[in-house]
Amino acid sequence: MKLLVTGGAGFIGSAFVRLLLAERPDCHVVNLDKLTYAGNLENLAAVADSPRYRFVKGDIADGPFVMDLFAQQKPDAVVHFAAESHVDRSILSPDPVVRTNFYGTFCLLEAARVHGVARFHHVSTDEVYGSIEEPHDADENYPLKPSSPYSASKAGSDLLALSYHTTYKLPVTVTRASNNYGPYHFPEKLIPLMISNALEDKSLPIYGDGKQVRDWLYVDDHCRAVLAVLEKGRAGEVYNVGGSLALENVEVVRRILRATGKPDSLMITVTDRPGHDRRYALTSDKLERETGWAPLMPFDEGLSRTVRWYQENTGWVGRVKSGAYREYYEKNYAGR
Ligand code: NAD
Ligand code: TYD
């Protein structure tokens, strides 16, 4: 089985590639990634020399390039992670977000349709449902009401992918996961930013009143869910992937301060994000019922593992912040 994984150099994509190569000895992976600021081949150092792994640098929104790649590689299946994934960046600069998340998904779907693949798995987010009022939890039929250019571009790409199933019978599946956390997470999202700032005794900026609720999913639990849907999910279906604990942001930050041994005085309140969603909440009953998946990592254990990883990998944090991994790419991969 040959899988084309897009965005495999990012946070979740790299965890998925590591999991797949470790647990599925019959799988070969082609990792297509543009290596934006968020893509880092250091995340894949453990598998870089595997004969079952190959890296291709390229842009999913370059239609002719993507079509050629499918013709050359002939993947059996596609697992599509590549995206501009940060809400704040999407507010400041929506152009690359729409281009990659919507048009890039279109280019992949077209190539998958023309060349024929046995499965196209599209990785999406709970943010497509928008803010959800208590006491409701979104199931897969909940209306889509995205708030940011990021979540709207993901909602659009979900619908486009599903339309390829309805119209062309492309065997598409979609997962919508809640907020991920874990090692190799770029330090711009809440948990890795707060950990790296705390470790450097910098202030921890809380948007607004900090009472927004997110449902935290350990990255490896998410990757197991994607694998479960790839192997057992039904074509044309959407599966929610919820986390192990929903918490207000201030509580997450307090736990990070406790885990790093830093004082609460590092927390500061800053201007709220425009269009900030108050609460995300999901039910993953369908995924659990159809595949047997369940989140395994309790939040506090996942958080202490993550804190430990950032304490032990300050070099990685420094390099991704400065963009120095590009030198690593030139040294190790360019021309391969
Ligand atoms: P990330 O930002 O860490 O990684 C994205 C990867 O995509 C990077 O390696 C980047 O280089 C690559 N990429 C970006 N634009 C590209 C392009 N035009 N062509 C090829 N490659 C490109 O993101 P992540 O957090 O790992 O998220 C992966 C996927 O999971 C995304 O689709 C995201 O919407 C979804 N998701 C993320 C979360 C989360 O909490 N992080 C939760 C649910 C769903
Ligand atoms: P983030 O990690 O950006 O994920 P998302 O917006 O996709 O949920 O943010 C998680 C929550 O943390 C969100 O409510 C915004 C908030 N937040 C802060 O309060 N301060 C920060 O510096 C960041 C990055 C996020």
pLDDT digits (tens, 9 = 90+) for 292-301: 999 999 999 9
Residue 265 Cα to ligand 1 middle (Å): 33
What is the rounded CA–CA span in Å between residue 27 and residue 119? 14
pLDDT at 153: 98
Residue 82 Cα to ligand 1 middle (Å): 4
Tell me which residue has its CA closest to atom 11 in ligand 2: 190
In a domain? residue 72: yes
Mind listing the pLDDT tens digit for each residue in 19-67? Answer: 999 999 999 999 999 999 999 999 999 999 999 999 999 999 999 999 9
In a domain? residue 124: yes
- Which range marks the domain in which residue 158 is found? 2-184+217-242+276-297
188, 190, 257, best to mutate for ligand 2 pocket (most atoms within 8 Å of CB)? 190
What is the rounded CA–CA span in Å between residue 233 and residue 123? 13
In a domain? residue 141: yes
Residue 125 Cα to ligand 1 middle (Å): 11
Tell me which residue has its CA closest to atom 35 in ligand 1: 124
List all residues whose CB is within 6 A of at least one atom of ligand 2.
Answer: 87, 127, 179, 189-190, 193, 205-207, 212, 214, 249, 273
In a domain? residue 252: no
In a domain? residue 291: yes
pLDDT at 332: 59
**Beta carbon of 280 within 6 Å of any ligand 1 atom:** no
Q: In the predicted model, what is the mean pLDDT of the chain? A: 96
Nearest ligand, measured from the Cα of 87: 2
Mind listing the pLDDT tens digit for each residue in 78-112? Answer: 999 999 999 999 999 999 999 999 999 999 999 99
* Residue 164 confidence class, pLDDT cut points 50, 70, 90: very high
In a domain? residue 36: yes
In a domain? residue 223: yes
* Residue 329 confidence class, pLDDT cut points 50, 70, 90: low
Q: What is the mean pLDDT of residues 228-237?
A: 98
Please identify every residue annotated as catalytic: 126-127, 150
**Beta carbon of 104 within 6 Å of any ligand 1 atom:** yes
Residue 62 Cα to ligand 2 middle (Å): 30
Q: pTM to 2 decimals?
A: 0.97
pLDDT at 217: 98
Task: Read off the tokens for 110.
Answer: 């077209």
pLDDT(336) > 50: no
Pick from 277, 278, 279, 286: nearest CA to 240: 286
Nearest ligand, measured from the Cα of 56: 1
pLDDT at 326: 62
> CATH code at 88?
3.40.50.720
Number of structural domains, the chain?
Answer: 1
In a domain? residue 289: yes
pLDDT(176) > 80: yes
Residue 134 Cα to ligand 1 middle (Å): 29
